[in-house]
Structure 1
């Protein structure tokens, strides 16, 4: 297959359950990892009833009274979990036109005074008032835990696709009770024609894996191919969009692609676009620069066939060569949410914002 791509491949997870068809899946996954950086995953094991239950809640979540949303504003949380108003983030100097809630899998923070600040990045989520949205917390947490389980299965398949033992990437995770994974529920309102069509600007994700549920029928997600062209990744019912982050690109010495992507706002007059990304984290203390992966020569040659990537607009998460994973993620959060940093991480806030909160901040 040619190294460049003009569409995002669709992989069938059901192939994994049959020893006769699993090799075909592994081969398709290998191509997506090295040459594309994105894929659709169909016939996945997350129950459709749980996906549909979550989707039904999403408009009601955003229709909560503003005062109820403001009670769980992200600035309350040292873990960067909670509500963000419309237009609070910027990418590449342009306003991101989206409203969002950040949630996470259940976790009690392991941070104690004197411990590194990045340990404090994980902790309990803030949830809407149960009386105003009964059942939402249970539905969202169940969904996050189901995708978490899928994400660990997928990591083993990635190892196989790279010619490694199935457990080769396990060393980048702590035991379950020490791990936390994040999710967002995002609303992209229709473009009001007073600003750009930037729902969220070009960026990379930080960790190993992202599983995106496109929760409405609106297009808008675009991924950047090797020659810099923007390729549409429209919603396909029953699928997740899976992409690979800067951490797995770094630890595989660029063998796996982290692909730049963005979201365009729905056109004027449209209903809102909704999405639910799940971000699989690795250990907060993982130092990727200390790890050398030993790939088979025939797999490494596939990177050579791919060729060089063009320069993209996405520049975030570039500190893996010198900082633990948690610190890299914390820096990204501080840059995108200085109001949270000012309250909970004053030293880092002063380092990155010596003149105080600017009028515009960069999400990436």
Structure 2
């Protein structure tokens, strides 16, 4: 969703695996009293889930109030304009949960600098880790916020937004299950009770690159980790691109009044490859742009102990759904290779390894053994996110 609301007409044209546009789904159809409307939505979601891996979602104000979005959006430039000293007080290195502030250019993807500044955020959570527990129990924990005195009201605006987007995510999971030929509760075993779950995200600023810069990488090609991502494209800048099965990059240009939803590697593995995790990247704003690009993704996680290869997590799908997967085919080559560990490791361990690779300074302070494993030559100049 962008900060301006808009009513959209859903494009009913089905996209194939070599899509050249991203479908727009009308969320209000999914909660309509008309069963034909609901069936239409599930059919469109099934296509997006299997063939595209991305969609725009419109008309979500029954769950996420426009005033909540607008209030958060009003704070975002102020957040990044805080004095550097205030932002550094909540640096990620202070947090064993990998939450907090990262300076511009603090990460690399595949050896190249990501030209972005960001705050890693999360829903409220108390870490369940105790001495003797697996390290990955500590990957979830309380977020860091700037002092209330320097940006009054921001924390409340952020927490309200996170709560409503999390609700949308939970409702959307039941729709995904139905699109896969399962009952609405068909994916519930991948979640713990709400008090033991945490969903995480970012507030990201992609500044206009310097005229002398030879790179336009906002963030390099990658997959997302969990079941789904719900993205608020705050500004009208282009930049987000997704990769079809032919390897072509397709623009996901912001559409007013929508969120962008994409599916992650955990869902892909849990559904035996039926759901498509799609490679994507972000390009920096054009050099002639006068303003930065802002976005707010929320990553809807599965429970920390989920190991999708275990028998208790195996799902049975109708033959017609498996046939759609097989007819789709797979991407021949992609630069996105991350989160392949979901097939063998607990979800929390996969998340922890990803965070360690992205933020070695945090790992060095809070997870020294993992740091030595991934960085035997010591702390690199910048983090490496795959």
2:48 matches 1:42: no
Tell me, in whole angstroms, the C-alpha distance in 1 between the residues paired with 2:17 and 2:110.
Answer: 28
Question: 2:330 & 2:104 partners in 1: Cα distance?
Answer: 37
Structure 1, 223-232 or 13-22: larger mean CA deviation: 13-22
Query: Could you give the per-residue CA deviations for residues 151-208 of structure 1, whole angstroms, max 9, x where no partner exists?
Result: 0100000000000011010000000000000121000000213230000000000000
Within 5 Å, which residues of 2 pair with 1:195-210?
195-210=214-229
Preserved contact between residue 93 and residue 360 of structure 1 (Cα < 8 Å): no
**CA apart distance, 1:4:** 1.8
What does residue range 83-122 of structure 1 map to in structure 2 within 5 Å?
Answer: 83-122=101-140
2:189 aligns to what? 171
Which SS does the other structure have where 1:212 is aligned? Answer: strand
Q: Which residue of structure 2 lines up, in the alignment, with residue 17 of structure 1?
A: 31
Contact residue 197 and residue 264 of structure 1 kept, 8 A: yes
Q: Which position in structure 1 is the counterpart of 2:302?
A: 282
Matched, 1:150 2:168: yes
Two-structure CA RMSD over aligned residues (Å): 0.9
In the alignment, is the contact (CA less than 8 A) between 1:156 and 1:169 conserved in 2? yes
Report what 2:261 is aligned to.
242
Q: State how far apart, in whole Å, the 2-side matches of 1:53 and 1:204 are.
A: 29
1:30 paired to 2:49: no
TM-score w.r.t. length of structure 1: 0.99
Q: Structure 1: how far apart are the matches of 2:210 and 2:377? A: 32
Number of equivalenced pairs: 364
Preserved contact between residue 3 and residue 305 of structure 1 (Cα < 8 Å): no
Name stretches of at least 5 consecutive residues in structure 1 with no aligned partner.
Answer: none
Does the Cα contact within 8 Å between 2:17 and 2:244 map onto a contact in 1? no
Q: Which runs of 5+ in 2 are unaligned?
A: 1-13
* Structure 2 residue aligned with 1:53: 71
Report deviation, 1:360: 4.1
- Between the aligned partners of 2:240 and 2:84, the Cα distance in structure 1 is 28
TM-score, with length taken from structure 2: 0.93
Of residues 97-106 and 264-273 in structure 1, the stretch that sits farther from structure 2 once superposed is 264-273
- Structure 1 CA distance, aligned partners of 2:361 and 2:17? 42
Corresponding residue for residue 351 of structure 1: 373
| Mapped contact 2:361–2:383 kept (Cα < 8 A) | no
